[in-house]
Amino acid sequence: MARILGGIYTSHIPAIGAAIAKGRQGEPYWKPFFDGYPPVREWLDAVRPDAAVIVYNDHGLNFFLDKMPTFAIGAAPEYRNADEGWGLPTLGPYAGCPELSWHLAESLVADEFDMTTCQEMLVDHAFTVPMSLLWPEPERRPPVVPISVNTVQHPLPTPARCFALGRAVGRGIASWPEDIGVVVIATGGLSHQLDGRRAGFINREFDLLCLDRIATEPEALTRYTIRDLVRLAGSQGVELIMWLVARGALGGHVSKVHSHYHVPVSNTAAGVLVLDNEAA
């Protein structure tokens, strides 16, 4: 059966993609952020995943406010990027893993999660920026299964529901009959607010608590409401729910391989975390 090797949790700020495109990783503003990623790539080189499940949120490139599924899964042979208006270069295409995607879609629906299944799917910076951070060389990237979570149009799925989805994803991966290693990646966060009177809001204390609890006590984070997350992490800080999906997919016992936190990147608190799945 398939094995979940571990989880990676990372921010996905558009400005990161621009810095990569312009070769600014070594500049004083950017170096403290990019210094957090060599240990992540070393871990990936060691475990060598055959596939990656990427939990992210679409910002209007594939879904918009008139049609916004709560949960969607890609089942395409490849995924393309397009211009979002950030001035980022168009990247990709990214190889899909449609057989695993369909298996997960069927498993999740049987597990009573009503997924929107997409046989065509554009992926935005929330997907492409982490891929560039984790695998700078495109030829080394494994095939992917994207799972999109609504963090834009209320009502949003609760943290508890997202953690339960992750557990269902974990069961689906474990029931895949092929002997492959899978890494589960969550993107987004940490605390940030891009609009309103609290624009620029960052909550370092809450971010560091989340980086710890995701590893040691994820169930504690499921007790927050969406309203709680907006208050504590900002209106866009609700992206923490995607980290809960990816954490739910892992076993109960994990080991922390690497953690890094830097403030700010653009106007966002940036974090990266690697958890090794001891059950694997």
The model's pLDDT over 69-93, given as tens digits with 9 standing for 90+, comes to 999 999 999 999 998 888 888 988 9
Q: Residue ranges of the chain with pLDDT lower than 70?
A: 279-280
> Is residue 192 among the annotated active site residues?
yes
Q: Specify the pLDDT at position 279.
A: 54
Place of tokens 């994803």: 169
> Is residue 12 among the annotated active site residues?
no
Domain extent listing, the chain: 3-277
Q: Specify the pLDDT at position 278.
A: 72
Q: Specify the pLDDT at position 59.
A: 93
Q: In which region does residue 245 sit, left (phi positive, over 0), alpha (psi from -120 to 50) or beta (all else)? A: alpha
Q: What is the pLDDT of residues 145-163, one digit of tens each?
A: 999 999 999 999 999 999 9
Q: Indicate which residue of 12, 103, 154, 192 is catalytic.
A: 192
Q: Indicate which residue of 12, 59, 103, 125 is catalytic.
A: 125
Closest CA relative to residue 141, chosen from 18, 254, 48, 13: 48
> How are beta strands 116-118 and 254-265 bridged, if at all?
unpaired
| φ and ψ of 245, to 5 deg | -60, -50
Q: Specify the pLDDT at position 229.
A: 97
CA count, 13 A, side-chain hemisphere, 185: 32
Instruction: Tell me the whole-structure pTM to 2 decimals.
Output: 0.96
- In 178-244, DSSP assigns E strands to 181-187
Q: Which amino acid is at 247?
A: R
Q: Specify the pLDDT at position 162.
A: 98
**Kind plus residue range of the DSSP H or E element containing 255:** strand 254-265
CATH architecture of 3-277: 3-Layer(aba) Sandwich (3.40)
